[in-house]
Amino acid sequence: MTVFFRGEITIFTLPSVDTVTYLPVEYSIPIILLSVVIACLASYTSLSMNERIVYSSFFHRYVWLGLASITMGFGIWSMHFIGMSASRLPVEMSFNVPLTILSIVPAILATFLAFILSSKARNSTRLIVFAGMFMGIGISAMHYIGMKAMILEADYAYHLGYFILSVFIAILVSFFSLFIFLKLQPYMNNFIVKGITSLLMGIAISSMHYTGMHAVKYYVDSDLELIHSHMHHMSIKSIILGVTIGIVIILLLSILSSLLDRYVDYRLNYFDALTKLPNRRQFERLIESSTYLTGMAILHIHDLNKWNSKYGYYFGDKIIIYIEELCTKLMPPNVELFRIEGNRFAFLSMTNEDLEKLLAGLNHLTTILSSPVTIDDQIIKIETAIALSVNEKKISSKQIYKNAVAVLTHYSIRYDNEIIKYDSDKHKRTFANHLVNEIEDALIKKQLYLVYQPKVFLNSKEVAGVEALLRWKHPIYGELSPAVFIPILEASDKMWEVTDWIIEEVCKQLAIWEQQGRSIPIAINIPGPYVTSPRLIRSLTTNVDKYELSPSLIELEITETSAVGNIEGAIQSVQAFRSAGFSVALDDFGTGVSSLSYLKRIPVNTLKIDKSFIDGVPESQKDGEIIKAIMALGSSLHLSIVIEGVEREEQIEYLSAINELPIIQGYYYAKPMNIIALEEWVFRLKEQYR
């Protein structure tokens, strides 16, 4: 029989029983069971660490593979050491400590290589076979190097058959363990599945060990007298040492794994992946605590999606990183920086000194952002707003945050890279409530005013009339867009009062023009619900009589939607307007939900084609055909046609080629203007086309 080495003698065959005495070996069942438990525990911990490769992306996969390999290697080594301690021989037995420690190396290296191969072998049985071979050979090498480290007052040799069988078992069980692990990996978060898999791996590793132990034959010279009744085994201290080393190492690695898990969870849950800054969760934890803040600033990057759409999300990330690096560089160390949303950063100061430094840093930041920057060879202008909330009244951190958000969500916000400090008088009330409460004051103080946009006959280039448009110059918010404040006033039923004011202002202006010998019709937009109100006709007739005007100088613009919403009421109201001498225009025609039958029943004078149809002309053939169709329809019903939103020479040329020449309203001729500018414009127009 072929054998391994022992001492200085090379043994190739088992000696004859005539020349040596073979030693009996006894085993301690409790210690054997303990060794199996250690192997199972190591397998379970190793499997748990392997899971991190799938579920964690914070650490490199090799970190987890390395920890899993060390755990498995130490587990196998401890199992071997304890398993060796389970044997009892009638001779003194000890170990070569350096060689015993060295024996762990092949187990760790082979397991690491096996785990690497198996992690790439999801659907490759061949790679799993190679991985099993590496792991099996590593386990065998560890076992037999450990055997080599044994110091006995006896010699030993190996039974070739059992030796080969032990190596084969090591490879086979390694293959099946890895195969089972890979196939059941989706279910490894189930404690029972992982426990059973660990049990199988532990038993398999132990099987290899005890098969290898069965392969070894201990002997002494036949003339040596033995006391068979006195069986020796390693001292209890050695056994305790082996168990302690194995359990402590596995426990430490398990704790390390748990700590890494917690750290990973903490980083993933409380830190932003792109900037590595604390994220919104961390921010909320802080402001919900009793931490005292002297101030908070929130930087909002405006229209980040514009850059994402134009250059891609990678470019948007570059902008975020640029802002983060700038903030980190300019902010003092004690000011905490967070990325609380995709386009928002928060700054927190804890002391008055930090607040002063924060303000200095923010001022420097706005100065830099006011100039164009180069990112990925693209020169861009980053638009931001910085809301600043200072704790002047010992308020909570939550309230400081709410105040800062109130600044950013306020309608007066401007993204001009400036710092906007929270003002309770300005920002505390909601914008809508503020406007509603101030409308009467705005009328008295003449914050509301009218501008006029001309309408021009396309064929004669004469003024066909003007449309009165409402504007609001607010003392706090500045010039407010009608698209912002008119819906608010309509929703609060304040627009009726404002419309009455518009009617009177228009009548005043018409009276002035009458005295000057001018006759320019003015169109007034009427809110939807007000169209069918008896109050409207009373307001119109009262002011017309008051200023001694012809009703034909006033045109009432109503929308399709308001007319269709109450078709019978709209028909009656329009008939009343027409009977009183007022003109009626159907505004934004083509964008509502009306049908041609409604148009036939409502006695309007004019159709106004919405800007959305002219925008695509002359490039869009479909839009052009729609305009032609509406103009033909208006002509057949003897209605005037006004086309809104005409801005380009090409559009004028296109419309001029149509037989039914319309009235044009748009920036091509003039933007909305005040009375003085309008009168000057009318004079220039007459001079131009005289």
Q: What is the pLDDT of residues 179-216, one digit of tens each?
A: 777 777 666 566 777 787 788 778 878 888 888 888 88
Asked if residue 51 has pLDDT above 80, the reply is no
Residue of 258, 257, 260, 253 whose CA lies nearest to 58: 260
Residues 84 and 187 in one domain: yes
Residues 153 and 243 in one domain: yes
CATH number at residue 644: 3.20.20.450
> Does residue 436 sit within a domain?
no
Of 112-121, 396-405, 548-557, 650-659, the poorest mean pLDDT is in 112-121
Map residue 618 onto helix, strand or coil. Answer: coil
Beta strand segments in 417-518, E: 418-421, 448-457, 463-474, 478-480
> Does residue 17 sit within a domain?
no
pLDDT given for residue 229 in this prediction: 42
Asked if residue 429 has pLDDT above 70, the reply is no
Residues 527 and 673 in one domain: yes
> Does residue 364 sit within a domain?
yes
Residues 395 and 517 in one domain: no
The rounded distance, in Å, linking the Cα atoms of 558 and 553 is 16
Write the pLDDT tens digit of every residue in 219-252.
Answer: 777 665 554 444 444 544 554 565 566 566 666 7
Of 26-40, 88-102, 585-599, the poorest mean pLDDT is in 585-599
Q: What is the CA radius of gyration of the chain?
A: 45
Mean pLDDT of 57-63: 61
pLDDT given for residue 537 in this prediction: 94
Most confident of 22-26, 227-231, 321-325, 620-624: 321-325
- The residue assigned the tokens 């619900």 is 529
Q: Is the peptide bond before 30 cis (omega within 30 degrees of 0)?
A: no
- pLDDT greater at residue 660 or residue 31: 31
pLDDT band at 557 (very low <50, low <70, confident <90, very high): very high
pLDDT given for residue 323 in this prediction: 94
> Does residue 434 sit within a domain?
no
Of 100-109, 272-281, 441-450, 644-653, the poorest mean pLDDT is in 100-109
pLDDT given for residue 204 in this prediction: 76
- Asked which of 394, 428, 462 is the last residue of a domain, the reply is 428
> Does residue 133 sit within a domain?
yes
Residues 33 and 111 in one domain: yes
Residues 595 and 641 in one domain: yes
Alpha helices in 56-154 (DSSP H): 61-85, 97-102, 104-119, 125-148
Note if the pTM is more than 0.75.
no
Most confident of 212-216, 412-416, 496-500, 528-532: 496-500
The rounded distance, in Å, linking the Cα atoms of 141 and 50 is 23
Residues 244 and 155 in one domain: yes
> Does residue 19 sit within a domain?
no
- Asked which of 404, 428, 452 is the last residue of a domain, the reply is 428
Residue of 506, 590, 594 whose CA lies nearest to 555: 506
Token couple for 145: 């190097």
Residues 301 and 261 in one domain: no
Measured between its terminal Cα atoms, the distance across the chain in Å is 125
CATH number at residue 290: 3.30.70.270
- pLDDT greater at residue 138 or residue 576: 576
Q: For residue 599, give Cα distances in angstroms to 383, 576, 580.
A: 47, 17, 20
pLDDT given for residue 563 in this prediction: 65
pLDDT band at 10 (very low <50, low <70, confident <90, very high): very low
Domain that holds residue 525: 442-688
pLDDT given for residue 246 in this prediction: 59
Residues 99 and 191 in one domain: yes
- Asked which of 233, 267, 301 is the last residue of a domain, the reply is 267
pLDDT given for residue 296 in this prediction: 95
With contact defined as beta carbons under 8 Å apart, do 670 and 659 qualify? no
Q: DSSP string covering 321-365, please?
A: HHHHHHHHHHS-TTSEEEEEETTEEEEEE-SHHHHHHHHHHHHHH
Amino acid letter for position 205: I
Mean pLDDT of 80-93: 75
Asked if residue 572 has pLDDT above 80, the reply is yes
- Mean predicted lDDT score pLDDT of the chain: 82
pLDDT given for residue 556 in this prediction: 95
Asked if residue 67 has pLDDT above 90, the reply is no
- pLDDT greater at residue 196 or residue 54: 196
pLDDT given for residue 294 in this prediction: 92
pLDDT given for residue 267 in this prediction: 75
pLDDT given for residue 447 in this prediction: 92
Of 58-72, 521-535, 558-572, the poorest mean pLDDT is in 58-72
Residues 300 and 189 in one domain: no
Number of domains forming the structure of the chain: 3
pLDDT given for residue 65 in this prediction: 73
> Does residue 5 sit within a domain?
no
> Does residue 11 sit within a domain?
no
Residues 288 and 417 in one domain: yes
pLDDT given for residue 1 in this prediction: 37
pLDDT given for residue 441 in this prediction: 87
- pLDDT greater at residue 363 or residue 28: 363
Residues 34 and 70 in one domain: yes
Q: DSSP string covering 237-261, please?
A: HHHHHHHHHHHHHHHHHHHHHHHHH
